[in-house]
Structure 1
């Protein structure tokens, strides 16, 4: 349904000579991706408003989406699977943070393990992205730097005595990225070096 809507809009743009006919496929892909992200993030934000967790959710999304963009990790095959998986994962994150907020040592212990995972693996080269060696190296470097920056922010928030619920959501974002990296590695959902050429 989303793809049909995007195709209709792009066809209309091509007829109005707003875009080149040859670039239609690119515009459809981009529009579908944007619509899927809007629907998914919109659903999460709506849930967070309904359960009065908008600010912690905003911290979670900021940290998670920034790091996930650079680390990659496990991907599902269809938008519906991804949407459902993302919403269910978000609900699990909410529940987990409600429990972990009372156990800061556990949060920081898990965060330390996650940091090690992100620093060692860096990025998973998913077949749909298929980065070359230079792109992969830059992505790994960016993921490691961003992870360090996010951890410094978490540490600063903690030192300043910020609400543990916010700290927990930020930490769980990094932990979730590390978990998705591991799942992708375990399931071999990546381009191997000998497949790069």
Structure 2
């Protein structure tokens, strides 16, 4: 359904000569990403409202989208797989945050942040076969991903020790960074394209 919707939008743009037919596949892929991101975001926000975890949900979504847009990594074959994986990551993080005592969150959160930052700093960006990157794009996304992860990691590390944000927010963000680092490692372990530049 998602693929068909993206193809329909692209067809309309090609028919009206807004885009060139040679760029059709790129636009289909781009529309699939946009539509799936919006759908998953709306679903997670509804779940956050139902579970009374709107603030944690917003921090999860923001961290996830910001980092995933520059790190690359594993992508499910179909939208349904992406939907399920993202939802399971989100629910797992909420459950872990709920079950873990606050006194352990700072130590574990900092471990997650340090390990995940190292992984993302070293491996990003990891290409997806549907969206290959030129050498200039690799350099650009490597720089962006490194700056982004260092800024987020620094803010969360300070947050853990100064209480300028709640321990739950800091821990959710550290878990989200961990999840993204795992999604970054998967294609590398499977022998996919990676950039160590």
Q: Same fold (TM over 0.5)?
A: yes
Q: Distance in 2 between matches of 1:65 and 1:158?
A: 22
* Deviations 1:67-123 (CA, angstroms, capped at 9, x unpaired): 111111111111111111111221112112223452121121122111111222232
Paired residue secondary structure (1:74) = coil
In structure 1, distance between residues paired with 2:97 and 2:177: 13
> Do the aligned partners of residues 6 and 185 (structure 1) sit closer, same or farther apart at CA in structure 2, a change above 3 Å counting?
closer
- Cα separation, 1, equivalents of 2:101 and 2:63: 18
Unaligned runs of 5+ in 1: none
Equivalences, count: 192
173, 177, 190: which one aligns with 1:174: 177
Matches for 1:64-79 after TM superposition, within 5 Å:
64-79=64-79
| Alignment match of 2:152 (pick from 134, 150, 153) | 150
Q: Using the alignment, how far apart are the partners of 2:14 and 2:139 within structure 1?
A: 38
1:190 and 2:193 matched: yes
What TM-score comes out, normalization by structure 2 length?
0.83
Unaligned runs of 5+ in 2: none
Residues 108-167 of structure 1: per-residue CA shift (max 9 Å, x gap): 112211111122223212222211222212211211111110012112323431211111
SS in 1 for 2:77: coil
Asked whether the equivalents of residues 101 and 164 of structure 1 are also in contact (C-alpha less than 8 Å), the reply is: no
Between 152-161 and 137-146, the greater mean CA deviation after superposition: 152-161
Q: 1:4: Cα distance to partner?
A: 3.3
* CA-atom RMSD in angstroms: 2.5
In structure 1, the residue matched to 2:58 is 58
Q: Distance in 2 between matches of 1:164 and 1:99?
A: 14
What corresponds to 1:138 in structure 2?
140
In structure 2, relative to structure 1, the CA distance for the partners of 1:56 and 1:30 (3 Å cut) is: same
Name the CA distance, whole Å, in 2 between partners of 1:187 and 1:14. 36
Residue 155 of structure 1 aligns to a residue whose secondary structure is helix
Aligned to 1:121: 123
